[in-house]
């Protein structure tokens, strides 16, 4: 009897298809010298590789949260195995202490007591109003509540020492890779990394990795003893909510591009190459779409999808499947409303390319239009596609936050940066103010968006034909 049942959500399929597509793209890049040279320029960019290291950390969290299962319930021998209705992920299993150690309500970061006073019965004193002790936060201290700062500092110091030891091992592996059999000529790998002539920005990767480890390892070590980012209204750990929000942000940013890419590339190139009435029709299409306020269009589509979901509850066996369908619907709607910008860029570039000599020579020799598009036009506009997709990622992440804030984003049961910010809106009106949920969501989203923008700048500079 297995202890769990694998659950595959539609968004999981799309996420892993994107991973497979990324691997396939890597194989194609390795076989194309011009693309390989451009990506090597990205690899040589210190800013690009530092931001890519941060992005890979977010992606790793998102992938761990995209492996879902249901736990088997206890039953009598011989009976059919029944599974729980709660859909968990590998990330939930790894972060089980954060998920299960819930408090009664709000508590500050590193607090040992609740944030609000309650009436309690104290032996010998009767009913008094005081801040109740947390069930989990700082429990190991016992009555030594005044030692929180010293205990947290010592634990963080031990975590930093472990992080530095792990980093030394990773730095040794990087030095071996940087040496690559040329140590006799150019010196050991660590010297090449130090001088910055390894051909890859190992120094930026290692420094970023060191900073991330020095923050992450002590943070997660401390999270086993304290609520390092505090708790929310229902007592759930805010750090756990931040981790769960990463997958939602990545799906919004990546799956939406999967929806918009084929339409934008096809219509943009076709409009620019064929011109005439084809160009007029496509321009009319995206001009009309742009004339409709995006928020109103998205709101109408989301509300219609919600009606469909509410009237067909038999489609879903778990709440996670219901929330997943709404998430995919939001990705589809965002994709439908966000393809026009890339389409306009590709149309303009194709109008320029079709007038070049080699395109006109191919037309004179009788080469079919679609063959010219596939063999000559498409490869020469791919740098625009890559740059636009990378730069649109951060915009889509922010769009989800805004839409969830106004109530037309992801399902309320799904954790995202937008839902965290939306919930924090009411918390800011409390007295005293509950500030840590908003600060945690904003900080994590800021780091993700900043890393995506910096990486997009590096990709743009590397694929700029004028820089080649």
User: How far apart (Å, rounded) are the C-alpha atoms in residues 95 and 378?
Assistant: 44
pLDDT at 186: 52
Tens digits of per-residue pLDDT, 313-333?
A: 777 777 788 888 888 888 888
Average pLDDT, the chain: 83
- Specify whether the CB–CB gap between 29 and 35 falls below 8 A: yes
| Model pLDDT, residue 124 | 67
Taking the C-alpha atoms of residue 445 and residue 237, their distance in angstroms, rounded to an integer, is 17
State yes or no: pLDDT of 119 exceeds 80: no
Measuring CA to CA, which residue among 220, 212, 223, 210 is closest to residue 164?
210
Cβ-count burial 2-30 (b if 16+ within 10 Å, e if not): eeeeebebebbebbeebeeeeeeeeeebe
What does the angle CA 262 – CA 267 – CA 268 come to, to the nearest 5 degrees?
Answer: 100
Contacts of 9 (CB under 8 A, 6+ apart): 68, 87, 320, 321, 324
Give the pLDDT confidence score for residue 187 in this predicted structure.
54
CA 187 to CA 202: how far, in whole Å?
15
Asked if residue 376 lies in contact with residue 396, where contact means CB atoms within 8 angstroms, the answer is no
Structure tokens that stand for 201 in this block: 């920005």
Confidence bin at 243 (pLDDT 50/70/90): very high
- Over 50: is that where the pLDDT of 183 sits? no
- Is the pLDDT reported for residue 190 higher than 80? no
Percent of the chain clearing pLDDT 90 (strictly above): 16
Average pLDDT over residues 262-291: 88
Most confident of 82-91, 211-220, 261-270: 211-220
462: CB partners within 8 A, 6+ apart? 38, 39, 41, 42, 45, 48
Instruction: Decide: residue 122, CB within 10 A, 0-12 exposed, 13-18 middle, 19+ buried.
Output: exposed
Residue 180 corresponds to which tokens in the numbers above?
Answer: 């690559």
State the maximum Cα–Cα separation within the chain, in Å, rounded to a whole number.
101
**What pLDDT does 355 receive?**
86
How confident is the model over 351-388, as pLDDT tens digits?
A: 988 888 888 888 888 888 888 888 888 878 877 887 77
Q: Which residue has the higher pLDDT, 125 or 237?
A: 237
Residue-by-residue DSSP string for 142-183: TT-GGGHHHHHHHHHHHHHHHHHHHHHHHHHHHHHHHHTT-H
Per-residue pLDDT tens for 14-42? Answer: 888 888 888 888 888 788 787 788 888 88
157-178 per-position pLDDT tens digit: 999 999 999 999 988 888 887 7
**Domains along the chain with CATH numbers:** 238-467 (1.10.3720.10)
pTM of the model: 0.85
């Amino acid at each position: 009897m297995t202890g769990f049942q694998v659950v595959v959500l539609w968004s999981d399929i799309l996420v892993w298809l994107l991973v497979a597509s990324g691997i396939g793209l890597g194989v194609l890049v390795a076989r194309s010298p011009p693309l390989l040279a451009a990506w090597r320029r990205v690899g040589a960019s210190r800013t690009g590789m530092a931001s890519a290291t941060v992005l890979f950390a977010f992606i790793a969290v998102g992938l761990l949260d995209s492996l879902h299962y249901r736990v088997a319930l206890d039953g009598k021998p011989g009976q059919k195995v029944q599974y729980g209705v709660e859909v968990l992920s590998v990330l939930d299993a790894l972060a089980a202490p954060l998920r299960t150690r819930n408090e009664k309500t709000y508590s500050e970061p590193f607090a040992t007591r609740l944030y609000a006073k309650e009436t309690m019965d104290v032996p010998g004193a009767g009913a008094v109003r005081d801040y109740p002790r947390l069930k989990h936060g700082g429990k190991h201290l016992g009555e030594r509540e005044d030692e929180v700062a010293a205990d947290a500092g010592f634990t963080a110091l031990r975590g930093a020492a472990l992080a530095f030891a792990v980093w030394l091992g990773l730095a040794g592996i990087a030095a071996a890779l940087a040496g690559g059999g040329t140590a006799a000529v150019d010196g050991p790998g660590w010297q090449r990394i130090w001088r910055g002539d390894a051909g890859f920005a190992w120094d930026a990767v290692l420094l970023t990795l060191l900073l991330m480890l020095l923050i992450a390892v002590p943070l997660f070590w401390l999270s086993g003893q304290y609520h390092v980012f505090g708790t929310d209204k229902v007592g759930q750990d805010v750090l756990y909510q931040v981790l769960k929000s990463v997958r939602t942000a990545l799906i919004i940013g990546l799956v939406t591009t999967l929806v918009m890419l084929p339409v934008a590339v096809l219509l943009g190139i076709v409009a620019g190459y064929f011109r005439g009435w084809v160009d007029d029709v496509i321009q009319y299409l995206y001009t009309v779409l742009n004339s409709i306020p995006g928020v109103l269009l998205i709101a109408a589509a989301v509300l219609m999808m919600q009606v469909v979901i509410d009237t067909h509850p038999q489609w879903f066996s778990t709440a996670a499947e219901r929330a997943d369908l709404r998430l995919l619907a939001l990705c589809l709607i965002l994709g439908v409303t966000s393809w026009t910008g890339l389409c306009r860029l590709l149309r303009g570039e194709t109008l320029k390319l079709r007038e070049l000599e080699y395109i006109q020579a191919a037309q004179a020799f009788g080469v079919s239009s679609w063959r010219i598009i596939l063999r000559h036009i498409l490869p020469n506009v791919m740098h625009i596609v890559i740059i636009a997709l990378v730069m649109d990622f951060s915009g889509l992440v922010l769009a989800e936050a805004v839409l969830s804030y106004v109530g037309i984003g992801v399902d309320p049961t799904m954790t995202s940066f937008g839902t965290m910010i939306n919930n924090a809106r009411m918390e800011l009106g409390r007295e005293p103010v509950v500030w840590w949920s908003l600060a945690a969501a904003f900080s994590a989203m800021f780091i993700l968006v900043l890393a995506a923008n910096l990486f997009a700048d590096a990709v743009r500079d590397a694929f700029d034909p004028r820089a080649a």
